[in-house]
Structure 1
Amino acid sequence: MKIIKNSRGIETLIFAKTLEKEALEQIKKLINFEPYLDAKFRIMPDAHLGKGCTIGTTMTITDKITPNMVGVDIGCGMLTVKLKAKEIDFKELDKVIKTEIPSGFKVHKKAKKDFDFSNLRCQNHADLERALLSIGTLGGGNHFIEVGKSKAGVIYLVIHSGSRKLGSDICNYYQRKAIRHASNTTRIAQSIIDKLRFEGREDEIAAQIKKIKKPVVDKELAFLAGDDFDDYMNDMAIAQRYASHNRSAIAEIILKETGLQESKRFETIHNYIDFKRMILRKGAVSAEKGEVLLIPINMSEGSLLCVGKGNENWNYSAPHGAGRLMSRTQAKKAIGMDDYIHSMRNVYTTSVGKKTLDEAPQAYKSIEEIKSAIVDTVEVIDVITPLYNFKDH
């Protein structure tokens, strides 16, 4: 564990054993950003460089928020479905997924499910028609559909997806608003006018206004406050429900088309705001006492099935995965296709290829590094080993 302090002497705990220099600098910049000087930061073991803030960031929030920190894939997470099946026809499953569940930028031709957007405050700035057509779609990148078996012999279906373009529309709208707000000299001028009038120096107003310079704005960290904060939080909650609805729709399609039956399910969300605790988690998950959660490692080693310990010193949080060892660009240069194919030899997949090379197991930290780093926040109760994997390709 590494401890760093901000300008007020408040400690930030970093639980990552390996961390890029750039990510550390990003963390230092964030914890010293004036609106968040009093926040409690805890950085997860899978931390790596991100946009807005480091992936693996958890922080307490009060009345200010930077939309970029949660990012565009609001509510992204995993739905884990415990299946009753003992064996699965993976060829049939693969066909169903390719036929019935659009991935990448593709959406359904007709809406599969409805969703209530009536309370979305930025709805005039979001493509709601596409949002409806996106319910029951996977997305690209590290999003996946996986089937695995635990050491106890239980088969699980795991769906990793988020809020699709809706989350992007919401984030981008509010981040633009935050940037405009930070760039606005009207507020500065008004405060000067009010001050000079109070002091009886009205004759100096014109001269002081001319001296105002346009502020230098950090576009990545520009933040919302007041009514804008409330609007964003409202729309954030809606996007989180939408993301959950999307994962549920994917599961429903798979179960219906394959005839598979479930016994129970749970969700593990990692790009969101925990409204109960008022904790922002960017690439981190909730680990409340007794809470069941899933931490995926990579395409070949599978996922850790865990139970949270409710550790306040960790912001009641755990890592959302293994964390990348190398960027997507680096992975495509450093990992050979033969090595990638060999690492996936025990998994049924038609997704291995150049397009998914940046998602190869070698691009991520090892399962052992993560297991040893999380003992204070979760108990690992089982390991789910992949039998089948699908990613957009």
Structure 2
Amino acid sequence: MKTNKITAKDLMSAGYKEGKILGKALSVAEQLLKDMDGDTVISMLTAVLDDVYDGELSELRDMVLEDRKVADIIVLKEQPDKFAIYGEDNIDAGAKAQMAIAMALPVSRAGALMPDAHQGYGLPIGGVLATHNAVIPYGVGVDIGCRMALSIFDIPAIHFDENHDKYKRELIAHTRFGAGHGFLKKERAQHAVLDNDAFNMTQFISQLKDKAYSQLGTSGGGNHFVEWGIIEFSERDEVLNIDKGSYVALLTHSGSRGMGAQIAGHYTRLAKEICKLPQHAVNLAYLDMHSEAGQEYWLAMNLAGDYASACHDIIHQKLAKAMGGTLLAKVENHHNFAWKEKWGGEEVIVHRKGATPAGKGVMGIIPGSMTAPGFLVRGKGLENAINSASHGAGRLMSRTKAISNITKQEMSAILKENKVTLIGAGLDEAPMAYKDINVVMDAQQELVDIVAKFQPRIVRMADDGSKED
């Protein structure tokens, strides 16, 4: 029987550190020394640390592996960096707390909350985050490339009033809404986006193409819409070359449908496997832009953005053809996306999750609700806001709270009061579920100039208020 003695100092020289694992290793060593010499035991215990021992020391090995997992967790900054907040009085504490976590990431460089901000998953809705060499799938969001598109026609407002039923009929005929909804093969539209080489970059992306094809030119559920309205210019806009007056306009809001949602889910799971963050920050898992996974996601994200734009393009083409008139201007902007931009003298990845790009001179559309006005804006390029603005009014109530607190009668009354015809939508999208768009716009006067005001008149949304799929 061997009687060699192994001390804590011996094991620490082999790589063990003070703590429970060292105590366990000493206990194991004591048992092993009954049948073998000290050098052999030390060699075995060192092999456990190096994860090359395939013997029966499973309990000690499991402790070592578990400790290694904890050790691999990325350490956040002790104090989150400061971030700008616009319209702070109307932003919930949850959104602020989420933004603080995002600003504690080691890759974070700058952040801002827009006045429509509210709590989401990972980065809050209305959150803007600039990172160094890293892209966060949940910082972009599930509905990748979700966007606004506005077509302004040379049709006077009186034409809308005189032909209300036709506008409604054509709106119903040329739009399709809701989770999973698409077109049959004989109905499908064609678009150059389907020839994008990015569809062939991986098997995962390739298998999404047929669903994308079927849903091309459709709109999602939730707060997505297609609506006719009247846009009013209080003075001539030289950039758009549009005179003062009121014009018929088409406004759409939707994203990358099921394809975008699956891309978001796939790369979020991958990011969480690669980027180990503390539990409270896990939804902010990021991908290194120099890695294969980071480059894959970047290409997939841009493909989803192009696809979302194509969906709007088809809807606008169909309805413009149906109603006639000359297109005076088309403005489009997206959110739920990431851009390579310069900030503070370095290239950063700017995530705008529910925030509108508002660089100097950049045009954007900020909608209110189905009864509240929307605004055509021009960005001022404020660096403190990371060249951003709100993407809408922002939710005042959660969907669940809206459904339980708002009646159909109340919703009908406000629609009637504002002379809005509604097709579809659930109580979760009732105007009262949203913040006052005028308060939101007042809070971002530093960020954008208002060019024109859009008033919804006929609004179509998903019949059941369903979310994206």
* Category of TM-score, reference length = shorter chain: 0.7 to 0.9
Instruction: Tell me the residue number matched to 2:359.
Output: 288
Aligned position for 1:79: 149
Q: Which of these residues, 165, 171, 175, is aligned with residue 101 of structure 1?
A: 175
Q: 1:145 aligns with which of 226, 235, 250?
A: 226
Runs of 4+ residues over 6 Å off in structure 1: 214-217
How far is the alpha carbon of 1:94 from its aligned partner? 2.6
Which residue of 287, 290, 294 maps to 1:229? Answer: 294
Q: How does 1:175-194 map to 2 (within 5 A)?
A: 175-182=268-275
- Other-structure match for 2:339: 274
SS in 2 for 1:154: strand
Q: What's the secondary structure of 1:298's corresponding residue?
A: coil
Contact 2:423 2:459 in 1 (8 A): yes
Aligned to 2:451: 381
Partner of 1:131: 212
1:331 equivalent in structure 2: 402
Please list every run of 5 or more consecutive structure 1 residues that lacks an aligned counterpart in the other structure.
1-5, 184-213
1:53 aligned onto 2:130? no
Q: Does 1:22 align with 2:94?
A: yes
Question: Partner amino acid for 2:182?
Answer: V
RMSD over aligned CA atoms reads 2.1
Q: Secondary structure at the match of 1:40?
A: strand
CA distance in 2, matches of 1:174, 1:43: 25
The one-character-per-residue Cα deviations of 1:128-161 (angstroms, maximum 9, x if unpaired) are: 1010111110111100111221333122110111
Which of these residues, 277, 283, 300, is aligned with residue 220 of structure 1? 283
Residue 308 (str. 1) matches residue 379 (str. 2):
yes
Instruction: Tell me which of the two structures has the higher relative contact order, counting C-alpha pairs closer than 8 angstroms and 6 or more residues apart.
Output: 1
Cα distance, 1:84 vs structure 2 = 1.6
- Measured after TM superposition, the shift of residue 376 of structure 1 is 0.4
For 1:155, which of 217, 226, 248 is the aligned residue?
248
Give the 3 Å change call, closer, same or farther, for CA 123–238 of structure 1 in structure 2: farther
Secondary structure of residue in 2 paired with 1:220: helix
SS in 2 for 1:85: strand
Q: Secondary structure at the match of 1:371?
A: helix
CA distance in 2, matches of 1:343, 1:122: 49
Instruction: Quote the Cα distance in structure 2 between the aligned partners of 1:216 and 1:318.
Output: 30
Name 1:193's counterpart in structure 2.
none
1:10-61 per-position Cα deviation (integer Å, ceiling 9, x unaligned)? 321111331222222222222113333xx20011000001112100111112
In the alignment, structure 1 residue 113 sits paired with structure 2 residue 190: yes
Larger radius of gyration: 2
Distance 1:315 1:182 in 2: 25
Q: Report the CA distance between 1:123 and its aligned residue.
A: 4.6
Counterpart-to-counterpart distance in 1, 2:145 and 2:112: 20
Q: Which residue pairs with 2:310 in the alignment?
A: 245
Aligned residue-pair number? 354
Match of 1:169 in 2: 262
Q: Select which of 247, 257, 266 maps to 2:322.
A: 257
- Per-residue CA shift, 1:79-127, capped at 9, x if unaligned? 1101121223332233233333221021011220231242243452542
SS at match of 1:75: coil
1:66 alignment partner, one of 116, 119, 136:
136
Q: State the secondary structure of the residue aligned to 1:254.
A: helix
Where does structure 2 lack aligned partners over 5 or more consecutive residues? 1-76, 233-244, 343-348, 464-469
2:411 aligns with 340
For the 8 Å contact 1:57–1:283, the answer to whether it is kept is yes
**AA paired with 1:143?**
H
Where 2:148 maps in the other structure, the secondary structure is strand
1:167, distance to aligned residue in structure 2 (A): 0.7
| Letter aligned with residue 243 of structure 1 | A
With over 3 angstroms needed to count, the CA separation of the structure-2 counterparts of 1:35 and 1:274, relative to structure 1, is closer
Displacement after TM superposition at 1:217 (Å): 8.8
